[in-house]
């Protein structure tokens, strides 16, 4: 009898295991098929957004996907309750069944609201009467038209104090389509990057946001539906669902700890930038306090690199050099591919070159935000990006190609593992962006000449300078305390004020700007402001989702948080008529932003690991880099050891928790600011010399 019982138990177990394995095989195959259909619809929608056939196709796809997913998750829940799943199967079930649980009606409503929000963002067009002069560049035409329009408002309406806001409001509400028109974020960004006239910058900044206020009502409806779907699957709100995707239970606490870790460096950069902006714009910039958001060279104040020329007398204009070499957009893509190939990663597929869209030529694209697409069939990976010939676009191409390398690396994983932690996904391309900014690589691709390549500083010079007692603020970067006139003081976390008035040493030798100085300051102005901006974007939305914001002060709360985290202030009064959070693409696109925040730290940890592999020839190097090797000069081009680390990391897809993947590939288990601070160590010396020389106040 006992033998019969054992045989029956064995048969049932064997049968159950077979059923589970067969079920997961079917689920993974179905996942790939559904992903392929979804990817095709998304691609077609980007190229042909007005195609009416796509709406019906998307509706059918959505209905079938939701029905299949709900049935599959119900089956998996029963197996889970009966403890019939192994660890791999438990992970696959988690990946399939997490996130908001929509019913079909809700999913269709959300899709319609997405389309409305995207249309508001993508179709911005502001036209001004203007005769195009042949001797003006596009930006100059825009500037001239805006300047004339503002003068017209001033002269005829006599609104000197409020002429710019009023001119922005009137122009943005005018539906005429003649004259000169600024279309989409690209044209507005050109003005923000290149103009040096405060009134023109203010007009462009305000006119863009004048259009975004139309999002306020549909966005509220969107979050109402998404919160319902999130709560149906056990989350408190859609923000909790977003955070769950990253698999970091205490994500908010960790994010703020990371921000506090780099805040002294950011505050130092912020203070120096504010000082030079004040030199340029006078009393438009306060001596202390937050910086006006419209004067930082960027539509969203997240990239300050365009104002580098105000800080350094001699810039290295990489854009002009690319154009002088007659680079095309395809040349940029080929050079990005070459870098990945050099470290042992595969070239782009034939389909990539056949199907990708690199510019607006022959395409009437309203939506051309950089997108890397995995079509889930036959090595079909594509890039959609309306690129210009510029170094910023060269960076974006490397970033998007990093996504495609990830897709290719995990293509042999089961369907549910053919994805990755979003922070890791955003890390690969940005890690390579640090590699292409080394002087050696810029020289390799002919963007630096020989004399610039060897225009370097003694690596020990800054070490000696920074260890002098007078530069107490530098120690603050290390031990997170504040100093004023050499005396230790406590951080005022409420007002974010860290003022340092360090006495200028009259005997300090003259400081010669080197190639390294220019490149690392370029990098810092481009990358460091993105960190607080990324935190702001999601901390505000998390608060919005959970209902902890004052509904009567939503826009005011946004700017209070922006001042607290970024140290910026809006142009004029931004009342509750506006929806300024919507001025960034990822809000109408409903894409979480904290992934970019975390990636800002992970990319430094990964780059340092790749650098060590390139220097020592193998992975998991525990020793620090030799003191003569600075991370901003670590050339990993051609390092197969570095490439092996990347391939191992990416090939795992989502088959493991991100901590396990980091432990196995670079020997770390936590996200840390230490590698970032080591990378920017040379920057401390540059900024501290300026702070000391001009007695620059730090903080806001």
Residue whose entry in the numeric block shows the structure tokens 């901590």 = 659
pLDDT at 352 over 90: yes
DSSP for 540-560 reads: HHHHHHHT-S-GGGHHHHHHH
Cα torsion angle, 457, 265, 673, 597, sign: negative
**Integer CA distances (angstroms), 296 to 163, 184, 187, 190, 303, in order:** 21, 19, 17, 13, 8
**Residue 132 pLDDT:** 56
Question: How does residue 313 score in pLDDT terms, banded at 50, 70 and 90?
Answer: confident
**Residue 244 pLDDT:** 97
**Residue 310 pLDDT:** 94
pLDDT at 399 over 80: yes
**Residue 162 pLDDT:** 64
**What number is the average pLDDT over the span 368-375?**
88
**Comparison of pLDDT for 490 and 648, the residue scoring more:** 648
Determine the Cα–Cα distance for residues 346 and 210; give it in Å rounded to an integer: 45
Encoded tokens for 514: 């080197």
**Residue 372 pLDDT:** 95
Encoded tokens for 524: 């810092």
Question: How does residue 462 score in pLDDT terms, banded at 50, 70 and 90?
Answer: low
**Residue 461 pLDDT:** 53
**Comparison of pLDDT for 16 and 247, the residue scoring more:** 247
Report whether 126 contacts 205 (CB < 8 A).
Answer: no
pLDDT at 262 over 70: yes
**What number is the average pLDDT over the span 504-530?**
79
Per-residue pLDDT tens over the stretch 120-168: 999 999 998 766 554 455 788 899 999 988 888 877 776 666 667 877 7
pLDDT at 364 over 70: no
**Residue 47 pLDDT:** 87
Helix 472-479 vs helix 251-281: crossing angle, to nearest 10: 160
Contacts (Cβ under 8 Å, ≥6 apart) of 418: 31, 32, 35, 374, 376, 407, 410, 411, 653, 654
**What number is the average pLDDT over the span 321-348?**
97
**Residue 456 pLDDT:** 81
Question: How does residue 363 score in pLDDT terms, banded at 50, 70 and 90?
Answer: low
Per-residue pLDDT tens over the stretch 609-662: 999 999 999 888 888 888 888 899 999 999 999 999 999 999 999 999 999 999
If we measure between CA atoms, which residue out of 47, 80, 17 comes closest to residue 382?
47
Eight-state DSSP code of residue 442: H
Determine the Cα–Cα distance for residues 46 and 54; give it in Å rounded to an integer: 11
If we measure between CA atoms, which residue out of 117, 623, 661 comes closest to residue 420?
661
DSSP-based three-state secondary structure for 182:
strand
Determine the Cα–Cα distance for residues 381 and 593; give it in Å rounded to an integer: 24
**What number is the average pLDDT over the span 182-205?**
94
Encoded tokens for 699: 């903080």
**What number is the average pLDDT over the span 362-381?**
81
Question: How does residue 466 score in pLDDT terms, banded at 50, 70 and 90?
Answer: very low
**What number is the average pLDDT over the span 27-34?**
97
Determine the Cα–Cα distance for residues 283 and 484; give it in Å rounded to an integer: 25
Half-sphere exposure in the Cβ direction for 557 (13 Å, CA): 15
**Residue 606 pLDDT:** 98
Determine the Cα–Cα distance for residues 360 and 350; give it in Å rounded to an integer: 21
DSSP-based three-state secondary structure for 489:
strand
Per-residue pLDDT tens over the stretch 33-68: 999 999 999 999 888 887 889 989 999 999 999 999
**Residue 496 pLDDT:** 38
If we measure between CA atoms, which residue out of 529, 528, 522 comes closest to residue 439?
522
Q: Which of 184-188, 289-293, 461-465, 626-630 has the highest mean pLDDT?
A: 289-293
Determine the Cα–Cα distance for residues 213 and 219; give it in Å rounded to an integer: 10
Which of 5-9, 158-162, 558-562 is predicted least confidently?
5-9
Rounding to the nearest 10 degrees, give the CA dihedral for residues 647, 667, 597, 292.
-110
Per-residue pLDDT tens over the stretch 384-395: 998 899 999 999
Pairing of strands 371-374, 381-384: antiparallel
Contacts (Cβ under 8 Å, ≥6 apart) of 15: none
Encoded tokens for 41: 């619809």
% of the chain exceeding 90 in pLDDT: 74
H helix or E strand, kind and range, residue 482: strand 482-484
Computed over its alpha carbons, how large is the radius of gyration of the chain? 27
């Amino acid at each position: 009898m006992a033998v019969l019982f054992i045989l029956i138990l064995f048969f049932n177990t064997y049968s159950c295991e077979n059923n589970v394995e067969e079920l997961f095989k079917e689920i993974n195959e179905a996942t790939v098929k559904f992903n392929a259909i979804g990817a095709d619809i998304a691609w077609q929608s980007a190229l042909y957004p007005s195609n009416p056939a796509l709406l019906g196709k998307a509706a059918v796809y959505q209905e079938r996907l939701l029905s299949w997913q709900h049935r599959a998750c119900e089956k998996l829940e029963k197996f889970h309750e009966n403890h019939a799943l192994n660890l791999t199967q438990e992970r696959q079930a988690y990946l399939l069944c997490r996130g908001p649980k929509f019913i079909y009606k809700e999913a269709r409503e959300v899709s319609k609201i997405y389309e409305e929000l995207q249309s508001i963002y993508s179709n911005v067009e502001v036209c001004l009467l203007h005769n195009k002069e042949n001797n003006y560049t596009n930006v100059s035409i825009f500037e001239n038209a805006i300047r004339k329009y503002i003068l017209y408002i001033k002269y005829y309406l006599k609104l000197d104090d409020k002429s710019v806001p009023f001119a922005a409001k009137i122009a943005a509400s005018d539906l005429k389509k003649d004259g000169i028109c600024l279309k989409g974020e690209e044209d507005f960004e050109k003005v923000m990057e290149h103009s040096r006239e405060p009134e023109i910058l203010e007009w462009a900044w305000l006119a863009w946001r004048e259009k975004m206020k139309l999002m306020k009502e549909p966005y509220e409806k969107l979050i109402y539906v998404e919160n319902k779907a999130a709560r149906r699957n056990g989350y408190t709100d859609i923000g909790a669902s977003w955070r769950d995707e990253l698999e970091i239970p205490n994500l908010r606490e960790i994010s703020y700890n990371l921000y506090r870790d780099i805040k002294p460096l950011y505050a130092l950069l912020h203070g120096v930038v504010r000082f030079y902006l004040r030199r340029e714009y006078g009393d438009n910039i306060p001596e202390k306090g937050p910086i006006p958001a419209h004067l930082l060279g960027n539509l969203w104040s997240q990239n300050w690199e365009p104002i580098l020329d105000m800080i350094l007398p001699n810039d290295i204009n990489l854009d002009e050099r690319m154009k002088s070499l007659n680079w095309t957009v395809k040349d940029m893509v080929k050079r990005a591919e070459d870098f990945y190939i050099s470290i042992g990663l595969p070239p782009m597929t034939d389909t990539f070159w056949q199907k990708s869209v690199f510019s607006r030529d022959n395409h009437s694209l309203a939506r051309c935000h950089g997108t890397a697409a995995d079509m889930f069939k036959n090595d079909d990976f594509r890039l959609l990006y309306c690129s210009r010939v510029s170094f910023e676009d060269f960076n974006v191409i490397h970033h998007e190609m990093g996504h495609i390398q990830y897709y290719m690396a995990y293509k042999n994983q089961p369907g549910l593992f053919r994805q990755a932690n979003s922070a890791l996904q955003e890390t690969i391309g940005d890690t390579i962006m640090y590699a292409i900014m080394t002087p050696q690589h810029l020289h390799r691709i002919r963007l630096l000449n020989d004399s610039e390549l060897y225009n370097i500083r003694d690596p020990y010079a800054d070490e000696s300078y920074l260890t002098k007692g007078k530069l107490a603020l530098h120690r603050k970067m290390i031990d997170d305390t504040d100093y004023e006139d050499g005396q230790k003081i406590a951080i005022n976390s409420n007002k974010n004020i860290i003022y340092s008035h360090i006495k200028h040493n009259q005997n300090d030798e003259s400081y010669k700007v080197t190639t390294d100085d220019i490149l690392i300051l370029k990098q810092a102005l481009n990358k460091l402001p993105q960190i607080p901006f990324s935190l702001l974007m999601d901390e505000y939305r998390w608060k919005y989702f959970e209902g902890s914001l004052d509904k009567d002060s939503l826009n005011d709360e946004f700017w209070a948080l922006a001042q607290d985290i970024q140290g910026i202030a809006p142009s004029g009064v931004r009342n509750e008529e506006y929806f300024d959070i919507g001025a960034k693409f990822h809000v109408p696109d409903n894409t979480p932003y904290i992934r970019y925040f975390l990636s800002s730290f992970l990319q430094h940890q990964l780059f340092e690991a790749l650098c060590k592999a390139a220097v020592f020839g193998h992975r998991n190097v525990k020793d620090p880099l030799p003191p003569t090797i600075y991370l901003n000069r670590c050339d990993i081009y051609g390092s197969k050891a570095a490439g092996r680390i990347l391939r191992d990391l990416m090939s795992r897809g989502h088959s493991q928790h991100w901590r396990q993947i980091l432990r196995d590939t670079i020997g770390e288990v936590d996200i840390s600011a230490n590698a970032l601070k080591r990378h920017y160590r040379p920057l401390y010396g540059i900024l501290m010399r300026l702070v000391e020389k001009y007695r620059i106040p730090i903080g806001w």
